[in-house]
Amino acid sequence: MNNGVEAQEEDQNHSTTEEIELDRIQKVHTALLNEMNHVST
């Protein structure tokens, strides 16, 4: 589970909690889109 460590390091680079939340949402959204593409093909 290296993803947790990487996410924490990235969060520390953000200046505001809003940016952190937006970044997390974008990553989850992208992951969901990728899964949907795998299912449809």
pLDDT for residue 2: 54
CA–chain centroid gap for 13, Å, is 14
For the CA atoms of the chain, what is the radius of gyration? Answer: 13
**Which pLDDT score, from 0 to 100, does residue 1 have?**
45
pLDDT digits 0-9 by tens, 1-41: 455 555 555 555 556 889 889 999 999 999 999 999 888 76
Residues near 12 by beta carbon (within 8 Å), at least 6 away in sequence:
none
The answer to whether the CB of 20 falls within 8 A of the CB of 14 is yes
